């Protein structure tokens, strides 16, 4: 073994983050667990992947939860919400590349969405069925300073 | 018009700059000829689409040419020239050359063609003083250009306006003004009534193709019909919309196919064949113009329909298709035109006449917002829709059109109120990559099994009603036989409507049951054996050469018979894993006959009920079920990983950290650094995936 084992006792507190439904990446009952985490030593020599030391509880995925909270006050007509990948500059929104599509009612939508990596940018559009040709539009991108990512639509 | 001139040169095999007056045509063209007007003008007709660009307005005559036929013997056109009152020959310069025939009957004639089986021109007019005549065209023959009457026109008394010879027999065919199909034996002038084809009018131009299919063009509206003359009840099927004219006569090389193999001027649809797809189906098709009218930003063509038409980009379903409610669609058109659309609302795999949802809708250049009512009787589930844009207002669900584009879409009809959640997005992928030597460490090239992957979940209210799993098998760098499956944790298998599961691999519907039997939780076997599913000239699949081998698509639709509340339902990536295939060796710890009990999941995903837990903690595995840790080494390395994009995997024996130098810091900082390490490969040592 080319690394030095270095064990650190860490107390991890998993906190249930409120979600609208579905299994969440962070979904867990509040539980206190004592975990052993192996920190890679500063002088760890890495030549191949086999030399890399990874936290036992880190699953190497980059996905995270985004809490979608959409509600239009006074909504009294049919409406439809699309949350889609933001188009490249100069391109149009692709409704075939949405993360979430749903009728929007006066009671609103509270939904936990899974985002595959932090560079994804989203556009939400609310369309009405009244012949209007321009939707209400909102944008979201990852904010690294927040513990919980949220997309608020009002 | 420049485009047409280029096309004309191509389909006639004729290069105008080099042609000499009177030369024969250089090929037997797939396109037909049409002569119209009282001063003859010549057109080239694409029977596939009905498009008929003008070849010349000056044929060197001041009057009509009729009784038109193409000779496969010398590759000249022949017809009756009204100005000279005799047989004329027309070469690649499109100029009329009168021929000196002997024993010529009086008058002019508008019915005629050149036989395929014999080198002779036949022409006909009904009436006691006229009839059916034969003119030998073999210059070496002693009776060259000597007219001989076959039968008088009272004995062969047909009200026909053109005739055409079958490519394989010496029978001529025509349809009279009442729609009766006649077969004429030109050896004795006898005729047989084969039946009424269901269309009437003046069919001034008729043709055969090499398959023996008969085409008739009606003067009044230009409609082109096709007829199977071998059918006991021959019927005229609308085939394309051609040009109309008061005076019409057609000719075609009857030994040519209708479309050349290298012809990419036609855009076909891509719905299943039952909706009308290929030329044999008389499927929807358009002779497109990339600088003219089409949907979206792209149009292209093919000689036979593609499995997936990559130019279907003009229709966006802005809202869900909810039964009984309006839906909003966004149609982008390159220029003004007319839109017609059909939806298979009743899911009977055809577009019924009553299922035309949009009729002759005016489109403006750019975006068009269209509200469409989904019938309350529409069947919930996946079905197909067809959109056709044309310069003319009228088009049928199938058949050829001379301009515009067809776009077919698979759509989902839902109950009112349904929401759709897709991970990582409706048109995006994540990648799953596995090492298959577990419980021993592998070589960390992470290409033993590589799939791209997404999940879609449908809910009505708070209840999940359906899952969809789809992706592509991108690589198999394994010697072992591994299957790929997805576990739906905490979803009882009894909640699944197993009879309605739809499972496709490589676009082919699978007959085997994807839901693994005998399990309490729902487990879908997506690919039963990744090692057996591909064919490649290389030892592995897209890891060590043969990179252009096509990836293999998969899709499973999993409807629930018992909806499950979203708070308890599995969601997100679900639990994708690989398993060892029964009957194949998979290392020293795996029993060949119960190999299925070997699984590898993403790191810290608990194995399924089918797993042999005695394998945990053997060799390099450091799983600890108490701490919820699975499929990891003592140093925390995984055996399965998820990458947040459609990932380009390392080539065979290329170490992951060598292919992706940013991986180390990402891994060692628990994702604090280099969060999109997977976007920065060493390009020369990875296989690029772009599906």
How would you label A85-96 residue by residue, b for 16+ Cβ within 10 Å and e otherwise? bbeeeeeebbbe
Please give the Cα distance from B97 to B83 (Å, whole number).
11
Answer for the pair B350, B332: CB distance below 8 angstroms, yes or no.
Answer: no
User: What number of other Cβ atoms are within 10 A of residue A135's Cβ?
Assistant: 19
Please give the Cα distance from B123 to B107 (Å, whole number).
12
Whether chain B has a CB inside 8 Å of the CB on A97: the answer is yes
Answer for the pair A23, A111: CB distance below 8 angstroms, yes or no.
Answer: no
CB nearest to B566's CB, from A21, A61, A127: A21
Locate the chain A residue with the closest alpha carbon to B426. Answer: A97
CB nearest to A62's CB, from B317, B637, B671: B671
Q: If DSSP codes are grouped into helix, strand and coil, which group holds residue B618?
A: coil
Concatenate the DSSP letters of all residues of B153-198 into one string: ETTS----S--EE-SSSSEEEEE-TTSEEEEEETTTTEEEEEEE-S
Q: How confident is the model over B17-27, as a mean pLDDT?
A: 67
Q: Whole-model pTM?
A: 0.81
Answer for the pair B608, B602: CB distance below 8 angstroms, yes or no.
Answer: no
Whether chain B has a CB inside 8 Å of the CB on A133: the answer is yes
Q: What are residue B54's DSSP bridge partners?
A: B43
Q: How confident is the model over B351-355, as a mean pLDDT?
A: 95
Q: If DSSP codes are grouped into helix, strand and coil, which group holds residue B424?
A: coil
Q: How confident is the model over B402-426, as a mean pLDDT?
A: 95
Q: How confident is the model over B462-481, as a mean pLDDT?
A: 96
Separation in Å, CA of B184 to nearest CA in chain A: 56
Q: How confident is the model at residue B428 (pLDDT cuts 50, 70, 90)?
A: very high
Q: How confident is the model at residue B513 (pLDDT cuts 50, 70, 90)?
A: confident
Locate the chain A residue with the closest alpha carbon to B445. Answer: A49
The whole-number pLDDT of residue A3 equals 36
Separation in Å, CA of B373 to nearest CA in chain A: 11
CB nearest to B328's CB, from A57, A96, A129: A129
Q: Which of A80-84, B27-31, B89-93, B570-574 is predicted least confidently?
A: B27-31
A–B interface: beta-carbon pairs under 8 A: 199
Q: How confident is the model at residue A30 (pLDDT cuts 50, 70, 90)?
A: very low
Residue, of B199 and B512, whose pLDDT is higher: B199
Q: How confident is the model at residue A47 (pLDDT cuts 50, 70, 90)?
A: confident
Please give the Cα distance from B230 to B237 (Å, whole number).
14
Task: Express as a percent the part of chain A with pLDDT over 70.
Answer: 71
Whether chain B has a CB inside 8 Å of the CB on A46: the answer is yes
CB nearest to B636's CB, from A53, A115, A120: A53
The whole-number pLDDT of residue B303 equals 85
The whole-number pLDDT of residue B247 equals 74
Between chains, do B637 and A97 touch, taking CB under 8 Å as contact?
A: no
Per CB-CB distance under 8 Å, the chain A contacts of B569 are 21-23
Q: How confident is the model over B182-195, as a mean pLDDT?
A: 97
Predicted confidence (pLDDT) per residue in A129-145, tens digit: 998 889 999 999 999 99
Between chains, do B328 and A102 touch, taking CB under 8 Å as contact?
A: no
Whether chain B has a CB inside 8 Å of the CB on A35: the answer is yes
Per CB-CB distance under 8 Å, the chain A contacts of B318 are 80, 82, 95, 127, 135
Separation in Å, CA of A74 to nearest CA in chain B: 19
Q: How confident is the model at residue B309 (pLDDT cuts 50, 70, 90)?
A: confident
Whether chain B has a CB inside 8 Å of the CB on A85: the answer is yes
Predicted confidence (pLDDT) per residue in A96-117, tens digit: 999 999 999 999 999 999 999 9
Measuring CA to CA, which residue among A128, A113, A62, A108 is closest to residue A83?
A113
Q: How confident is the model at residue A35 (pLDDT cuts 50, 70, 90)?
A: very low
Per CB-CB distance under 8 Å, the chain B contacts of A95 are 316-318, 330
Q: How confident is the model at residue A6 (pLDDT cuts 50, 70, 90)?
A: very low
Per CB-CB distance under 8 Å, the chain A contacts of B577 are none
CB nearest to B671's CB, from A58, A85, A103: A58
Q: What are residue B317's DSSP bridge partners?
A: B329
For residue B470, pLDDT over 90 is answered with yes
CB nearest to B636's CB, from A20, A38, A100: A38
The whole-number pLDDT of residue B374 equals 96
CB nearest to A56's CB, from B570, B629, B643: B629
Q: Which two tokens stand for residue B89?
A: 């020959």
The whole-number pLDDT of residue A39 equals 56
For residue B4, pLDDT over 60 is answered with no
The whole-number pLDDT of residue B311 equals 87
Task: Express as a percent the part of chain B with pLDDT over 90.
Answer: 88
Between chains, do B671 and A97 touch, taking CB under 8 Å as contact?
A: no
For residue A41, pLDDT over 80 is answered with no
Q: How confident is the model over B465-484, as a mean pLDDT?
A: 96
Between chains, do B318 and A113 touch, taking CB under 8 Å as contact?
A: no
Alpha carbons within 13 angstroms on the beta-carbon side of residue B558 total 32
Helices (H), B445-581: none
Q: Using CA atoms of B188, B193, B199, B204 in order, give the dihedral in degrees to the nearest 10.
A: 10
How would you label B249-283 residue by residue, b for 16+ Cβ within 10 Å and e otherwise? bbbbbbebebbbeebebbbbbbbeeebbbebebbb
Q: How confident is the model at residue B691 (pLDDT cuts 50, 70, 90)?
A: low
Q: How confident is the model at residue B512 (pLDDT cuts 50, 70, 90)?
A: confident
Between chains, do B444 and A50 touch, taking CB under 8 Å as contact?
A: yes
Q: How confident is the model over B270-288, as a mean pLDDT?
A: 94
For residue A1, pLDDT over 50 is answered with no
Separation in Å, CA of A76 to nearest CA in chain B: 16
The whole-number pLDDT of residue B539 equals 87
Concatenate the DSSP letters of all residues of B29-67 into one string: -SSEEEEETTTTEEEEE-TTT----EEES--S-SS-EEE
Domain A64-153 has CATH 1.25.40: no
Mean pLDDT over all residues of chain B? 93
Predicted confidence (pLDDT) per residue in B587-620, tens digit: 999 999 999 999 999 999 999 999 999 999 999 9
């Amino acid at each position: 073994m080319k690394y030095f084992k270095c064990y650190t006792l860490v107390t991890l507190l998993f906190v249930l983050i409120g979600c609208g439904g579905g299994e969440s990446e962070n979904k867990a009952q509040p539980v206190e667990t004592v975990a052993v985490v192996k920190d890679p030593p500063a002088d760890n020599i890495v030549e191949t992947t086999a030399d890399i030391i990874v936290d036992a509880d880190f699953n190497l995925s980059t996905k995270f939860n985004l809490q979608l909270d959409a509600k239009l006050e006074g909504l009294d007509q049919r409406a439809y919400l699309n949350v889609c990948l933001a188009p490249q500059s100069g391109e149009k929104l692709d409704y075939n590349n949405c993360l979430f599509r749903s009728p929007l009612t006066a009671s609103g939508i509270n939904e936990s969405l899974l985002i595959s990596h932090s560079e994804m940018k989203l556009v939400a559009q609310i369309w009405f069925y009244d012949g209007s040709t321009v939707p209400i539009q909102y944008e979201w991108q990852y904010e690294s300073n927040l513990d919980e990512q949220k997309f608020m639509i009002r | 018009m420049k485009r047409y001139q280029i096309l004309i040169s191509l389909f006639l095999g004729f290069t105008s700059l080099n042609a000499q007056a009177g030369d024969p045509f250089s090929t037997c063209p797939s396109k037909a000829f049409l002569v119209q007007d009282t001063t003859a003008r010549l057109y080239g007709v694409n029977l596939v689409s009905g498009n008929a660009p003008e070849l010349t307005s000056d044929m060197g005559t001041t009057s009509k040419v009729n009784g038109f036929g193409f000779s496969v013997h010398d590759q000249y056109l022949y017809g009756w020239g009204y100005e000279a009152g005799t047989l004329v020959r027309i070469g690649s310069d499109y100029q009329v050359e009168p021929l000196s025939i002997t024993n010529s009957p009086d008058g002019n004639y508008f019915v005629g063609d050149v036989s395929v089986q014999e080198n002779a021109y036949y022409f006909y007019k009904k009436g006691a003083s006229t009839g059916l005549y034969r003119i030998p065209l073999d210059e070496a023959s002693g009776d060259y250009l000597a007219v001989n009457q076959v039968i008088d026109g009272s004995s062969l008394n047909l009200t026909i306006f053109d005739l055409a010879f079958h490519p394989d027999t010496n029978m001529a065919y025509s349809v009279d003004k009442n729609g009766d199909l006649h077969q004429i034996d030109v050896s004795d002038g006898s005729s047989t009534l084969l039946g009424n084809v269901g269309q009437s009018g003046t069919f001034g131009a008729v043709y055969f193709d090499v398959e023996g299919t008969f085409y008739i063009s009606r003067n009044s509206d230009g409609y082109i019909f096709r007829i199977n003359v071998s059918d006991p009840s021959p019927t005229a099927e609308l085939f394309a919309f051609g040009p109309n004219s008061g005076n019409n006569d057609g000719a075609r090389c009857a030994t040519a196919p209708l479309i050349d193999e290298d012809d990419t001027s036609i855009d076909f649809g891509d719905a299943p064949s039952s909706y009308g797809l290929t030329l044999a189906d008389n499927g929807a098709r358009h002779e497109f113009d990339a600088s003219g009218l089409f949907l979206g930003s792209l149009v292209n063509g093919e000689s036979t329909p593609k499995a997936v038409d990559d130019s279907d980009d003009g229709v966006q379903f802005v809202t869900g298709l909810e039964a009984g409610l309006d839906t909003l669609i966004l149609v982008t058109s390159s220029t003004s035109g007319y839109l017609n659309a059909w939806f298979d609302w009743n899911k009977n795999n055809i577009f019924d006449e009553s299922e035309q949802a949009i009729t002759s809708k005016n489109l403006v250049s750019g975006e068009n917002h269209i509200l469409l009512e989904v019938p309350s009787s529409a069947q919930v589930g996946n079905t197909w829709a067809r959109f056709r844009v044309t310069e003319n207002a009228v088009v049928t669900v199938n058949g050829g059109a001379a301009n515009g584009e067809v776009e077919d879409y698979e759509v989902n009809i839902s109950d009112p109120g349904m929401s759709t959640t897709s991970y990582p997005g409706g048109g995006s992928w994540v990648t799953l990559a596995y090492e298959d030597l577990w419980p021993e460490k592998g070589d960390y090239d992470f290409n033993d099994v590589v799939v791209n992957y997404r999940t879609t979940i449908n809910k009505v209210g708070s209840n999940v009603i359906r899952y969809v799993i789809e992706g592509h098998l991108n690589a198999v760098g394994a010697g072992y036989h591994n299957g790929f499956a997805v576990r739906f944790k905490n979803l009882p298998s009894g909640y699944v409507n197993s009879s309605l599961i739809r499972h496709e691999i490589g676009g082919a519907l699978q007959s085997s049951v994807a839901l693994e039997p005998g399990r309490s939780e729902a487990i879908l076997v997506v690919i039963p054996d990744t090692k057996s599913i591909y064919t490649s000239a290389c030892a592995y699949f897209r890891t060590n050469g043969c990179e252009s081998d096509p990836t293999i698509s998969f899709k499973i639709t999993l409807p629930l018979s018992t909806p499950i509340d979203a708070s308890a339902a599995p969601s997100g990536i679900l639990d994708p894993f690989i398993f060892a295939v029964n009957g194949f060796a998979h290392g020293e710890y795996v029993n060949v006959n119960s190999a299925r009990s070997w699984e590898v999941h993403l790191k810290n995903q608990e194995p399924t009920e089918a797993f042999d837990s005695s394998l945990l903690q053997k060799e390099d595995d450091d799983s600890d079920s108490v701490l919820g840790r699975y499929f990891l080494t003592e140093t925390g390395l995984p055996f399965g990983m998820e990458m947040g994009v459609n990932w380009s995997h390392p080539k065979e024996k290329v170490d992951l950290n060598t292919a992706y130098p940013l991986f180390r810091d990402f891994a060692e900082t628990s994702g604090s650094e280099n969060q999109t390490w997977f976007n920065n490969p060493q390009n020369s040592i990875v296989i690029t995936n772009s599906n």
